[in-house]
Structure 1
Amino acid sequence: MTQPSFPAPTAAAVDRRLVTVIVNPSAGRGRALRLLDGVRTELDRWAADVRVAPTRDLAHAGRLAAEATAQGRVVAALGGDGLAGAVAGAVARAGGLLAVLPGGRGNDFARGLGLSADPRRVAAELAGFQERRVDLPEVGGRPYLGIASVGFDSDVQVIANRTRLLRGRHVYTYAALRAVAAWRPARFTVAIDDGPPEVLHGWTVAAANAAYYGGGMRFAPDADLADGLLDIVLISRTSRLTFLALFPRVFTGRHVHTRHVRVLRGKRLHIGADRPFAVYADGDPLADLPAEIVVRPDALRLLVPPRRS
Structure 2
Amino acid sequence: MVARDALIVANPAARNGRARASVPGVADILRSHGWSVDIAITTCAEHAAEIAAAGEPDGPLLVALGGDGLVARVAEGAIRSGALVAPLPGGRGCDFIRAIGGSRDLHEAASSLPLATERRVDVGFAGATPFLGVATVGYDSRANDHANEAPAWLPAALVYAYGGARALAETRSTSITMTTDGVSRTFAGWSVAIGNSGRYGAGMIVNPGALLDDGELDITTVEGLPRWKYPMLLPRYFKGTHIDGIDIRAARGREIEVTAPVGQRVYADGDVVGRTPMTFTVEQEALRILV
Query: Which category of TM-score, normalised to the shorter sequence, fits these structures?
Result: over 0.9
1:50-199 → structure 2 map (5 Å cutoff): 50-69=37-56, 72-165=59-152, 166-195=154-183, 197-199=184-186
How far 1:99 sits from its partner (Å)? 0.6
1:255 and 2:263 correspond = no
Match of 2:214 in 1: 227
**Percent sequence identity over aligned pairs:** 39
How far 1:245 sits from its partner (Å)? 2.2
How far 1:275 sits from its partner (Å)? 4.6
How far 1:109 sits from its partner (Å)? 0.5
Q: Is the 8 A contact 2:135 2:193 kept in 1?
A: yes
State the one-letter code of the partner of 2:168.
Answer: V
How far 1:95 sits from its partner (Å)? 1.2
How far 1:71 sits from its partner (Å)? 7.2
Q: Is the 8 A contact 1:18 1:47 kept in 2?
A: no
1:239 and 2:226 correspond = yes
State the one-letter code of the partner of 2:162.
Answer: Y
Give TM-score, length-normalised by structure 1: 0.90
State the one-letter code of the partner of 1:247.
Answer: L
**Aligned partner of residue 272 in structure 1, secondary structure:** strand
How far 1:58 sits from its partner (Å)? 0.7
Give unpaired runs (5+ residues) of structure 1. Answer: 1-14, 305-309
Q: Distance in 1 between matches of 2:234 and 2:187?
A: 19
Q: Aligned pair in 2 of structure 1 residues 260, 16: CA closer, same or farther (>3 Å)? A: farther
Cα deviation code 1:157-177 (max 9, x no counterpart)? 111111123131211101101
How far 1:206 sits from its partner (Å)? 1.4
Q: Aligned pair in 2 of structure 1 residues 271, 47: CA closer, same or farther (>3 Å)? A: farther
State the one-letter code of the partner of 2:213.
Answer: A
Q: Aligned pair in 2 of structure 1 residues 279, 16: CA closer, same or farther (>3 Å)? A: farther
Give TM-score, length-normalised by structure 2: 0.95
Q: Distance in 1 between matches of 2:198 and 2:141?
A: 18
How far 1:187 sits from its partner (Å)? 1.2
Match of 1:27 in 2: 14
Give unpaired runs (5+ residues) of structure 2. Answer: none
State the one-letter code of the partner of 1:265.
Answer: R
How far 1:265 sits from its partner (Å)? 0.9
Q: Aligned pair in 2 of structure 1 residues 290, 188: CA closer, same or farther (>3 Å)? A: same
Q: Is the 8 A contact 1:19 1:47 kept in 2?
A: no
State the one-letter code of the partner of 2:251.
Answer: L
